[in-house]
Amino acid sequence: MYSRFFSYALGLFMLYACDLGAQDIVVRDSVGNQVALLRKLAQSGNFEQAQLEAVTLREYMESQSVPLNPGILTLLSDIFRANLDDRSIAQLLSDAEVDARNMQDYSEKIALLEAMVRECRKWLLPERAFNVQTLVMAARDSQYMLSLRALEADMQLRADSAAMQRGVEVAQDKQFLKIERNAGLALGGGVFLSFIVLLVSLIRNNARWQKMLSKRELEWEIEKGNLRKEYEETAAVQVIAATRAVTSAEAQRPVLSFPQGPEPDQIALLIEPNRQVVLYLKSLLSDRFRIETARTAIEGLQMASDMLPDLVVCDALLNGQSGIEIARQIKLAERTNHIPVVLLTNKFGNEGKLDALRAGADVWFTRPVIDDEFDASVQRLMDERRLRHEDFVRFIHLYFTDNRIPAPEPFLQYTVEFIEKNLGNPDFMASEIAKNLQLSNTHFTKKLMVLTGKEPVQLIRELRLEKARVLLEKRAGTPNVISELVGFSNPGAFSLAFKDYFGENTLLLYSFPGVRPGQ
């Protein structure tokens, strides 16, 4: 009777176990199908439907007590980020942390925590990323300690087994064999010596493992210190960037952003080794400048000389080198001294101002940079450039008169004087100026455009016409003769150019000397 009852109970248990196994298979298949559907929706760009399916998947997994894994976490995070769903990602990260804490398999726990760190960084959550990174380190250390304990237990078990086996053999020898005293002493000495050797070996192994464990703990502490230092240095920058990301549609959706409008003509060179700071500065300048970056001092100087950017932003420290010296070299070089330089320093007040003076920088900021102040300063530099252009126009108008004023720059003074010497040559080209300045045509044109807003051909033409106006007012000759004196081979072309530039006919101006157009 009892045997029949036991058989019946065993059958019920096996049937229940089979049902549980089948149910687990069904749950895994269902989750896999939903994940595959989400991937297809995400790849097709249908993120609104993917959001609904993601919510359904999370409800099903919670109802079936299915923990998250790195793949599902990354997929759901991408969908929530595409839909700008901050609340869902916060809940998802909290659920993932709970699942990770409940996992017994350290390999699965570490994989899930590392996926959380990556997603926290994508969502610009530095504090949470640091906390999760701490959990990853703790899990790795726990896993390492378990392996050490298992190894130590295995060694102890082997030692005990060897000692026990040796004891059994000795006991058997004593039971069945009679040995002399000297032989027994020798045998006992051998056993004792073996025990001592084994004990010394065990002590050595324990000391070696303790040393390795201490080294690992020290490495962990150093790594924690480095992470803490890195997050302290970039915390303010990341917080400001995160705030800007909430209010800016382009920063919120980096994956789905599309370029709008033409690419800016102006170039800004960022000489900065910190990637987080570069990304933040790009968010401030990309609407007005095409951004180029350099991580080292040598690379920054080379790019500044080759590209002649419209703005240079340089960090005071570049991987152990002085960024102040780099900015100073840019300002001292004839090729690049016209470029506005913004210096980023970690000093405040007079110390920061002293750094800027040493570098010859136009503007300096103490990190972390405040976006409104930075935007205003950059805009002020661009406005100052426009004012310099207006001053140069006034300089040209007065250059051939008795009220001549000094040129704003030695470079411009030399350029204008060289053109003046060759005004009568109709074949005079701007390439001759570049050659005498030891610049390429491209770099000469770029620098002249930055300082004056005019291309070389335009500047030569305007100087010819300004000289012609002064000669006509002084009645130095007929319009035809003056056109030849200023380098126009065709009097008709000269007349049309003069009227287009001054809005006045050459003959009318020649008839009334001393009267400027518009008076």
Q: Find all residues with CB under 8 Å of 396, minimum gap 6, and list them.
A: 416, 462, 463, 466
Please give the Cα distance from 291 to 282 (Å, whole number): 7
280 & 195 share domain: no
Given a cut of 80, whether residue 237 has pLDDT beyond it is: no
**Of 184, 216, 247, which residue is a domain's last?**
247
Averaged pLDDT of the chain: 78
Q: Find all residues with CB under 8 Å of 145, minimum gap 6, and list them.
A: 213
- Strands ordered across the beta sheet of 341-345: 290-294, 267-271, 311-315, 341-345, 363-366
Higher local confidence (pLDDT), 370 or 193: 193
Q: Which long-range contacts (CB under 8 A, 24 or more apart) does 450-455 make?
A: 450/308, 450/310, 450/338, 450/339, 450/385, 451/338, 451/388, 451/392, 451/408, 451/409, 451/411, 451/412, 452/388, 452/389, 452/392, 452/412, 453/386, 453/389, 453/392, 454/392
Q: Find all residues with CB under 8 Å of 292, minimum gap 6, and list them.
A: 267, 268, 269, 270, 303, 307, 309
118 & 199 share domain: no
According to the model, what pLDDT value does residue 314 have? Answer: 86
Amino acid letter, residue 243: T
33 & 117 share domain: yes
**Of 215, 247, 279, which residue is a domain's last?**
247
Domain that holds residue 357: 267-369
Higher local confidence (pLDDT), 303 or 184: 303
Torsion of CA 39, 44, 47, 48, to 10 degrees: -120
DSSP reduced 3-state for 334: coil
390 & 479 share domain: yes
Q: Which residues pair with 268 in a beta bridge?
A: 291, 311
Distances (CA, A) of 298 to 82, 277, 292, 326, 447: 39, 19, 15, 9, 22
Mean pLDDT on 253-281: 72
Q: In this structure, is residue 378 part of a structural domain? A: no
Please give the Cα distance from 131 to 228 (Å, whole number): 10
Please give the Cα distance from 178 to 166 (Å, whole number): 18
* Tokens 């590392």 found at: 114
307 & 410 share domain: no
Mean pLDDT on 117-122: 88
According to the model, what pLDDT value does residue 10 have? Answer: 59
Please give the Cα distance from 503 to 426 (Å, whole number): 23
According to the model, what pLDDT value does residue 292 have? Answer: 92
Q: In this structure, is residue 297 part of a structural domain? A: yes
339 & 271 share domain: yes
Longest dimension (CA), the chain: 148
Structural domain count of the chain: 4
Q: What is the Rg, in whole angstroms, of the alpha carbon atoms belonging to the chain?
A: 40
**Of 307, 338, 369, which residue is a domain's last?**
369
Instruction: Tell me 67's DSSP state.
Output: P
Q: In this structure, is residue 337 part of a structural domain? A: yes
Using an 8 Å Cβ cutoff, are 374 and 287 in contact? Answer: no
Residue range 402-438, pLDDT digits in tens: 888 887 778 888 888 888 888 888 888 888 888 888 8
* Tokens 């291309």 found at: 455
Q: In this structure, is residue 63 part of a structural domain? A: yes
Instruction: Tell me 345's DSSP state.
Output: E
Q: In this structure, is residue 517 part of a structural domain? A: no
184 & 109 share domain: no
Torsion of CA 181, 187, 189, 193, to 10 degrees: 180
Torsion of CA 71, 72, 76, 78, to 10 degrees: 10
Please give the Cα distance from 415 to 452 (Å, whole number): 11
User: The tokens of 36 are what?
Assistant: 């595959």
- Quickly list H helices, 267-332: 275-285, 297-307, 323-332
Higher local confidence (pLDDT), 519 or 442: 442
According to the model, what pLDDT value does residue 5 have? Answer: 56
According to the model, what pLDDT value does residue 255 have? Answer: 41
456 & 504 share domain: yes
* Tokens 């769903």 found at: 85
Angle at the Cα of 167 from the Cα atoms of 164 and 172, rounded to 5 degrees: 130
Q: In this structure, is residue 109 part of a structural domain? A: yes
* Tokens 């080379």 found at: 302
According to the model, what pLDDT value does residue 483 have? Answer: 82
Mean pLDDT on 315-338: 80
393 & 506 share domain: yes
Given a cut of 60, whether residue 157 has pLDDT beyond it is: yes
User: The tokens of 240 are what?
Assistant: 């400001």
Angle at the Cα of 308 from the Cα atoms of 307 and 313, rounded to 5 degrees: 100
Secondary structure, 3-state, 360-373: CCCEEEECCCCHHH
Q: Which residues of 264-274 are buried (b: 16+ CB within 10 A; e: fewer)?
A: eeebbbbbbbb
104 & 69 share domain: yes
Residue range 329-383, pLDDT digits in tens: 888 888 888 888 888 877 776 676 777 777 788 887 877 777 788 888 888 888 8
Q: In this structure, is residue 173 part of a structural domain? A: yes
According to the model, what pLDDT value does residue 163 have? Answer: 85
According to the model, what pLDDT value does residue 66 have? Answer: 85
Please give the Cα distance from 89 to 91 (Å, whole number): 5
89 & 48 share domain: yes
Higher local confidence (pLDDT), 387 or 181: 387
Higher local confidence (pLDDT), 418 or 227: 418
Please give the Cα distance from 386 to 398 (Å, whole number): 19
Please give the Cα distance from 227 to 126 (Å, whole number): 11
Q: Which of 224, 299, 232, 286 is nearest to 260 (CA)?
A: 286
59 & 101 share domain: yes
Using an 8 Å Cβ cutoff, are 343 and 316 in contact? Answer: yes
Residue range 466-491, pLDDT digits in tens: 888 888 888 878 888 888 888 888 88
Q: In this structure, is residue 8 part of a structural domain? A: no
Secondary structure, 3-state, 71-97: HHHHHHHHHHHHCCCHHHHHHHHHHHH
Residue range 42-101, pLDDT digits in tens: 888 888 888 888 888 888 888 888 888 898 889 888 888 888 888 888 888 888 888 888
Secondary structure, 3-state, 167-181: HHHHHHHHHHCCCCH
Q: Find all residues with CB under 8 Å of 255, minimum gap 6, and list them.
A: 78, 81, 82
Given a cut of 70, whether residue 244 has pLDDT beyond it is: no
Looking at residue 462, which CATH number applies to its domain?
A: 1.10.10.60
